[in-house]
Amino acid sequence: MRRRYVARAMKTVLLVGAGGFFGAAARYLVATATHAVLGARFPYGTLMVNVTGSIFLGLFLAVGEGHLGLIPPAARAVVAIGFVGAFTTFSTFSYESVQLLANGSGWLALGNIAANLLLCLAGTAAGIAVGRMG
């Protein structure tokens, strides 16, 4: 019994790690592309991954919630915990906001905080709403 639990837990840890690898790589690509297009004065890349990650997580989990059994626990682990967990960037958002404040850009810091908070909450709600349509 205990041996099966440990084997299942190790499998889940490996799935989360694999999802995390791809989520981190996607985060780098999206943030880099966003900065290339919009510039780096404002942390647009972090905002982009936080908003798109919030939309995707809301959508993914709402689809799974609305269709019981549609998303197996292993897929939830790899996608919701691994991929989206590594893709979104709350700690980076926090650091960038503090840096903007420290550099005397209080209005940009406030804008960054407000944009991330409002757009991510709206993105999550939108993802859930779309996910529940099906």
Rounded to 5°, the CA angle 123-52-40 comes to 120
Instruction: Quote the pTM value.
Output: 0.81
CB-hemisphere CA count at 13 Å for 76? Answer: 12
Residues 6 or more apart in contact with residue 36 via CB below 8 angstroms: none
Whole-angstrom CA distances from 114 to 32, 77, 93 are 22, 30, 11
Alpha helices in 1-134 (DSSP H): 2-38, 44-66, 73-76, 84-87, 90-102, 106-133
Domain count, the chain: 1
Residue 68 lies in domain: 2-133
39-96 pLDDT, tens digit each: 999 999 999 999 999 999 988 888 876 665 578 888 889 998 999 999 998 888 998 9
Give yes or no for residue 133 having a pLDDT over 90.
no
